[in-house]
Amino acid sequence: MRVIIVGGGIAGLATAWSLQKSGVQVTLLEQGPLPNPQASSVDDHRLIRYPYGPRLGFTRMVGDAYAAWDEMWADLGERHYVETGTLVLGGPADAYNKATVATLAHAGHTVDWLTEAELARDYPLLEEAAIATGGFRMNSGGALRCGRIVQALARHLAFLGADLRPHSPVVDVDPVLAQVTLSDSTRLTADAVVVTAGAWATKLLPALASTLTPSRQVIVYVAPPPETVATWQRMPMLLNIGENNAGFYLVPPIPGTGLKIGDHRFSRTGDPDAPRTATIAEARAVLEQCRGQIRNLDAYRILEPKACFYTVEPHESFVFHQQDKLLAVSACSGHGFKFGSIIGKTAASLVQGQRDLAEVKHWATGV
């Protein structure tokens, strides 16, 4: 069997990894360099953690994703994961956290609710207001070093003989013929085409625009006050999510990376091909999300605001759209990297007719 994959982010590369293990001949077309720094999948890190609000399916999927990452590390001979643990801010009175903990319990995970005194003792960088509200801790959760992962996957696939073609923008897909047309008018045909084009998916397949919206997201790297650096290096990831997926997430500095803060809210605007500069004002707005949560916030210096793109699906589900010999996959809504390993395996199974589309679509809702 021969399969063409369009897009070399984590979804495309992990699909290629899984297909190649089954003996499928893979051609992967990437519009830019491979990896492409414009892709969602290329940054220092992406978080993986069990707390997922009331979504039992996603909570369970995290365990499956961890297993698939382990399988990938074994194949790559490299492990690109740093466990930090997870601290979720907000007490048991918070409806979202209450639902999260009930769902975690259903999936077999226990959490440590922390008293005010325990939070003050263990996390002195938190503001009194955050400490008074409460929170819970899990030992699991950490950072997937995403840029290194996609680089290692591309290297591994090339070594095993996959046909990887950077700088090969696809401008058209024919689902019936399983044929793609490149910008230089070259046509390539296979037995199936998988489109994993991230935030560009709706440009190539406009029919997906009814489901997927590109979303420009700003993150900020900050320099904490020097006297707090050593403490930050021992901190878990911080999540302050709450209802409607508002709030912030914070990635503590793991070796070779800085302190990163991101905003859970979706912008649902922007063009992934437009200039990517983010302003200091935008970065400050992200940092302000931490006001009342992190002590002495005004002493944190903005180092690097960054704009990045992903697509948003209204229910934050993943998308598996099959039409004739085309499978379009969107690992979207700002939470797809952690599941990249399992999404690649799932896409590979669908292409090979080993899983049922309706069952996969339900799985992808994370309910």
State CA 195 to chain mean position distance: 17
Q: Which of 18, 20, 36, 202 binds ligand FAD (CB under 6 A)?
A: 36
Q: Which of 197, 241, 250, 278 binds ligand FAD (CB under 6 A)?
A: 197
Of the pair 50, 119, the CB lying nearest ligand FAD is at 50
Report residue 217: phi and psi, to 5°.
-125, 140
For ligand FAD, the nearest residue by Cβ is 9
How far is it, in rounded angstroms, from Cα 278 to Cα 280? 7
Q: How far is the CB of 152 from ligand FAD (least distance, A)?
A: 15
- Beta bridge partner(s), residue 194: 5, 327
Which string of b and e fits 308-321 if b means at least 16 CB within 10 Å? bbbbbbeebbbbbb
Q: Which of 235, 337, 346, 347 binds ligand FAD (CB under 6 A)?
A: 337
Report residue 161: phi and psi, to 5°.
100, 10
The DSSP symbol for 149 reads H
Instruction: Please identify, among the stretches 40-48, 115-123, 228-236, 295-303, the one whose residues bind ligand FAD according to the rule CB under 6 A.
Output: 40-48
By CB under 6 A, the residues from 111 to 170 that bind ligand FAD are: 169-170
Of the pair 14, 131, the CB lying nearest ligand FAD is at 14
How far is it, in rounded angstroms, from Cα 73 to Cα 208? 33
Report residue 177: phi and psi, to 5°.
-85, -10
Instruction: Please identify, among the stretches 18-26, 30-38, 205-213, 240-248, the one whose residues bind ligand FAD according to the rule CB under 6 A.
Output: 30-38
Q: x/- contact string, 271-310, with ligand FAD (CB under 6 A)?
A: -------------------------------------x-x
How far is it, in rounded angstroms, from Cα 231 to Cα 224? 10
334 binds ligand FAD (CB under 6 A): yes
By CB under 6 A, the residues from 46 to 75 that bind ligand FAD are: 46-47
Of the pair 131, 235, the CB lying nearest ligand FAD is at 235
The span from the first CA to the last CA of the chain, in angstroms, equals 33
For 115, residues 6+ apart whose C-beta sits below 8 A from its C-beta are 134
Helix and strand numbers (H, E) in the chain are: 11, 20
Residue numbers at the binding site for ligand FAD (CB under 6 A)? 6-12, 29-32, 36, 38-41, 46-47, 169-170, 196-200, 204, 217, 219, 262, 308, 310, 331-332, 334-338
